[in-house]
Chains A and B, each alone.
Chain A
Amino acid sequence: MRTRLRMWTLLAGATVVLALPMPAWAQLTQHDLASRLGMESHVGHLTGHAKDAKADYRRYCVGCHGELGDGNGENFPWVDPKPRDFQLGVFKCRSTPTGTLPTDEDLFDTLARGLDRSNMPQWSTFTKQQRADLVAWVKHYSPRWANEKPGTPIQIPAEPEVTADRIKAGRDVFARVQCWKCHGVLGQANGPSAATLTDDLGRPIAAFNFTEGARPKCGDTDRDIYRIFMTGLDGTPMPSYADNIKPDEAWDLVFYLRTLMSQPSKEKEMAKKLDLKPVDPNAPAGQQ
């Protein structure tokens, strides 16, 4: 009797130990994923097939993003920012409104561009077909793509000519929507809220420092910068300002942000001639 009790105790203990990793597996299993291998992507005339990307994902991506696409690869403890959890279906770099899925082109472009200030390199060596296949593979991790359609890309009006007035107007927008609270009045990522920022998973996250010469994560053209604050970076504290900034004002803000960046630009030259002062958070609203 005593022996039997001991046996059951041992077996129960072993079961507990063996079951320890189960919560992670319980979210999504290889079986679930296998049923989604028919996922496709469509980029231009290319059709990507998830099943064709398995080998490339294993070769290039799994070390960070993990077998189950949950961002829990072997490098998870060592890299910062943490690898993206594809199961959530939430992406920073989109052309679509906040809260919506990105288009296949968005993911396709992100693969080639890489993400500065992270461990995600530029995978520009892939063929376009490989990239399209990998986009389909990324999509197959999240059930969102089975239930939702990607958002409609926002409209970006033609870029106007930069003028001194526009730069000054951009400074006013910077003050009004309180970009400085996180990015700092000089764009040095040292605003009063900067130290408190966390992403949607509760991990500390840094605001973008405009002055250190890094490329913005989601592209460094004027249109990319426009898109970033009009769509927001989902999963981060950076919201969409589509409801707060008119399209024309958005271009003003782009021009002003260029003056904060360390890279040489005509906006920077013009701001220097204007002797443009940083915003003053302590001044009354409208006079900052």
Chain B
Amino acid sequence: MRTGMKSRLCGTTPRGQYFLVTALVLTFLMLSGSQKANALPAFARKYGLRCSACHESWPMLNYFGQKFKDNGYQLMNDRDAPIWQNPGYWPVTFRITPIWHRVSTGEVAVDQGSGVSRITTSGFDLSGLDFHTGGTLEKNFSFYVLPSSDATASFHFETVMARLDNLFGSPWLNIKLGKFELDNLLSEKRILTLTGNGGIYQLYHFIPVGDGNIFGQMGDNQLGIEVMGHSYNDRTRYSASLLSSTDGNVGLPYGNAYTGFFTASQAFDTGKLGVDRIGGYAMIGEAPTYYLTQGGTPLAGSGVSNKTFSREGFVGQFYFGQHFDLQVVTQHGSDSAWFGQGYGDPIDNPGGPNNLTGSALPAGARNPTWNGVLFEPHYVYNPQLIFIGRYETIRMSQQANGPGSATPAPSNLGNISTYTVGYRYNPFMTSRAGFAWHNEYNWMHQDGTSPTGGNLNTSELLIGFDFDF
């Protein structure tokens, strides 16, 4: 009996021999074929570079990729203009992520029992779908258009911009017009994490509890114009943007208010460690708090009585050799006391307060201010495998409702702490397609924001295939 089993396994029977040899040949042919994936993401297809040339781990850019982007999606050689491409070349990439995730949220308001309950749910799901198209229209004329959908295929324009590059032959002068991502060195649009709370940078979207200012979210793509420049090797960079205070919403729904966003950074050659960069940013703007009404409904485009807000901080990108790096962003934020009282966006929130004539701030109202920091270390085992961690915290330094108000807020109301860990494994790395096996866990804690006034804790475990083609 044992002998017979051995025969079949080792293939000494005729059928076993056929099976073994055929399996060997097929396995070899399949493995050989798998080395020649022919997917064609837009830029890799154009220039014949692997994903890893521009991405520390797709989609996060490395220094070479940042320079490529800063040059207007050009390598600054004679292959940049589309006239040199095969006429069949079309610079389009799509990206979507089928996932399984488990989400657990504590203290959700419900009708049953004590009125609050933890809800934990899990299952298979989808991300939205992005269609990226970008590149050059001609040498030094670049563009990017990104129709993006949510998971139900409801589309909007996430990015639409054209850029004049290297004006007067200088890399120090480039002008971009349209809707675009702000010049955040640590790009949220290229974030390596995908969970609901871990897939964004909380610092880039923080709004204090009760605050009505939606306009200071530096993680949202904004409508405006940007002047940007850099040194030949991209060691020194600056940018200045003038933005409509619409948080990227089209159709001028608010008022005639503008926001400025400014960045500057300098990179240093640190020998074996790599190229490290430090920089700073400031977002200073104003947005309306008073809207004319018709039948009591605020009128789009009629916003006036602008109030101010600001976000500023430092950015550091520190590389410690070929495997380890640490990204750091700090922020100090401040909103006008009017925003702190909920004024700001009656268009999207008709029940919100409108700064009508005669309105006055309540006693004890102050500018809400806060400080935050995020640390994001990466361990790049090799271009195909990266481990990601992140700790992010935001602490209110001054609540909108101070001690003199009727309902003074606890000093920690709205404070956030969140941890994210995960890894991305790319089973192949070619210049044709991107595919990552993604696994991530996020835990987030916010003080005082549960329906009962207690702390709110959420967690999410996510596993999925993140791919583009």
Which residues of chain A have a CB within 8 Å of any CB of chain B? 3, 6-7, 10-11, 13-14, 17-18, 21, 52, 55-56, 58-60, 62-64, 74-75, 78-79, 114-119, 121-130, 214-215
Chain A residues with CB under 8 Å of B432's CB are 74
Q: Which of B14, B32, B48, B53 has the most CB of A within 10 A?
A: B48
Distance in angstroms between the alpha carbons of A258 and B275 in the assembled complex: 37
| A52 CA / B382 CA spacing, docked (Å) | 13
CB of A63 within 8 A of CB of B49, answer: yes
Residue-wise interface mask of B (311-349) relative to A, using a CB-CB cutoff of 8 A (1 in contact, 0 not): 000000000001100000000000000000000000000
Knowing that A58-B52, A125-B275 are A-B contacts, what are 19 other residue pairs whose CB atoms are under 8 Å apart, sorted by A's residue number? A3-B17, A13-B21, A17-B25, A17-B29, A18-B25, A58-B382, A60-B50, A60-B64, A64-B48, A74-B36, A75-B431, A79-B48, A115-B77, A121-B47, A121-B49, A126-B275, A127-B271, A130-B274, A214-B78
Q: Is B6 an interface residue (CB 8 A)?
A: no
If the complex has contacts A11-B21, A14-B24, are A125 and B78 also in contact, measured as CB distance less than 8 A? no
B32-A114 in contact (CB<8A) = no
Please state if B64 and A125 are interface contacts (CB–CB under 8 Å). Answer: yes
Q: Nearest Cβ distance between residue B180 and chain A, in whole angstroms?
A: 23
Can you list, as one digit per residue, whether each of B423-438 has a CB less than 8 Å from chain A (1) or not (0)?
0000000111000000
Q: Is there contact, CB below 8 Å, between A116 and B21?
A: no
The listed residue (B48, B76, B275) touching A75 by CB distance below 8 A is B48
Task: Determine whether the beta carbon of A129 is less than 8 Å from that of B271.
Answer: yes
User: B53 touching A60 by the CB < 8 A rule?
Assistant: yes
Across the interface, name the chain A residue whose C-beta is closest to B38. Answer: A74
Hey, which chain B residues are within 8 Å of A127, CB to CB?
269-271, 274-275
Look across to chain B and name the residue whose beta carbon is closest to the beta carbon of A112: B233
**Least CB distance, B243 to chain A, in whole angstroms:** 29
Return the 9 tightest CB-CB contacts between A and B, nearest first: A63-B50, A75-B48, A121-B75, A124-B233, A59-B52, A10-B21, A125-B63, A55-B322, A127-B269
With a cutoff of 8 Å between Cβ atoms, the chain B residues found around residue A78 in the complex are 48
Report whether A119 and B67 are in contact in the complex, using a CB–CB cutoff of 8 Å. no
With both beta carbons as reference points, the residue of chain B lying nearest to A52 in the complex is identified as B272
Q: Do the beta carbons of B14 and A3 come within 8 Å of each other?
A: yes
Alpha-carbon separation in the docked complex, A244 to B67 (Å): 43
| In contact, A125 and B234 (Cβ under 8 angstroms) | yes
Once A7-B17, A62-B50 are accepted as A-B contacts, the answer to whether A21 and B64 lie under 8 Å apart by CB is: no
Residue among A10, A14, A116, A125 having the largest count of chain B Cβ atoms under 10 Å: A125
Report B36-77 residues with CB < 8 Å from chain A CB: 36, 47-50, 52-53, 63-64, 67, 75-77
List, in ascending order, chain A residues with CB within 8 A of B14's CB.
3, 6-7
Report how far A96 CA is from B456 CA in the complex, Å.
Answer: 70
A115 neighbours in B (Cβ, 8 Å): 77
Q: Which residue of B lies closest to A127 (CB)?
A: B269
Chain B window 236-254, contacts with chain A (Cβ cutoff 8 Å), 1 for yes, 0 for no: 0000000000000000000
User: Taking the complex as formed, is B155 at the interface, i.e. its CB lies under 8 A from any CB of chain A?
Assistant: no
Q: Does B124 contact A (CB under 8 A)?
A: no
| Residue interface bits B1-29, CB-to-A below 8 A is 1, else 0 | 00000000000001001100100110011
Query: In the bound complex, how far is the Cα of B50 from the Cα of A117, in angstroms?
Result: 19
